[in-house]
Amino acid sequence: MNKQLLFLTLLVMVFSLSKLKGQALDTMYWNHGVEFGAGINQIALSNWASGGNSSFAGNSFLNLDINYSEGSHSWVNSLRLSYGLSKAESEKTKKTDDKIELSSKYGYKIHDYWFFSSLGEFKTQFTNGFDYKVNDSVAISKFLAPGYITFGIGLDYMPTQRLSLFMSPASMRLTIVNDQRLADLGSFGVKKAQFDGAGNLVKHGEKSLFGFGGSIKLVYKASLMENITLESRLSLFSDYLKDPQNVDVNIETQLLFKVNRYISANISASLVYDNDVIIIDSNGRSGPRTQFKEVLGLGLNYKL
């Protein structure tokens, strides 16, 4: 996907969503929120005695929430998009952040703060990803490679609008690797290609992996101060069909510091462990690894 087109698409989405304000969603049963942020960091050097390189970096995010509540019924929907790039003087443009996450949860109240709920989620990325330390021309991930579709049924504990703890003993997860080269390598846990003794391809790798197990998802949102908000998400998944003792972990936290209505700073951090994702370290050893990402942005912010 063309990067300029991507940013234009995000801006059009924000403009379109802003038109929702004052319309059908603003009723006694619906509530919604739209938050967009974009930050740029640029350094220009010329004949600088201390050395260094000119560089440019930018990142953006869009958070959309649309929720419905009436009587015993609750329907919570969220969309999380983010994208970031960096360019140093003598290097290629590199991707620093890339996320598409869509979530929808329906619940029916059965007692006080307890709901019988179903939760569906979809996750992938916009553009190709590379291991720049190894090879910056061969993609190790793409749009829908991987893609994750999850669905679970269970109990949801929601004592306040800020906290949700969803527990499902019956969740399915479909991992999609919609790229034959990556599927043949067995990336992201799918069954890899088979070769004969002479190295000839016998059977291509599979492009999907089905998992069934138990899951937990915790979502917490809070205003720490008048101009500081926090959103944190924890997801756990244990596959009954394959190594249930290896629990997949995904933790995401975002802090937003507002200077005024249009200027803000944001810090986001993500920690991921997936036993099916094999990573090669600096010593050439391969295996599952704890993944960590931190993004800091300062710039434009718009919230409805």
Interatomic CA distance for residues 193 and 140, integer angstroms: 16
What is the CB-side half-sphere exposure of residue 257 using CA atoms within 13 A?
8
Amino acid 287: pLDDT = 84
* β-bridge partners, 176: 147, 208
What are the phi and psi torsion angles at 29 (to 5°)? -105, -25
Q: Maximum distance among all alpha carbons in the chain?
A: 70
The two tokens of residue 45 are: 């050097």
Interatomic CA distance for residues 204 and 158, integer angstroms: 45
Q: Indicate the burial class of 137 (C-beta count within 10 angstroms; 0-12, 13-18, 19 or more).
A: exposed
Contact 123, 154 (CB under 8 A): no
| Amino acid in position 127 | T
Contact 231, 253 (CB under 8 A): yes
Contact 29, 111 (CB under 8 A): no
Q: Would you give per-residue pLDDT tens digits along the chain (304 residues)?
A: 444 445 545 555 555 444 444 445 556 789 988 888 888 777 776 767 766 778 888 888 899 999 999 999 999 999 999 999 998 877 889 999 999 999 999 999 999 999 999 999 999 999 999 988 888 889 999 999 999 999 999 999 999 989 999 999 999 999 999 999 999 999 999 999 999 989 899 999 999 999 999 999 999 999 998 889 999 999 999 999 999 999 999 999 999 888 887 888 888 899 999 998 888 776 777 888 999 998 887 777 777 6
* Cβ neighbours of 115 (radius 10 Å): 22
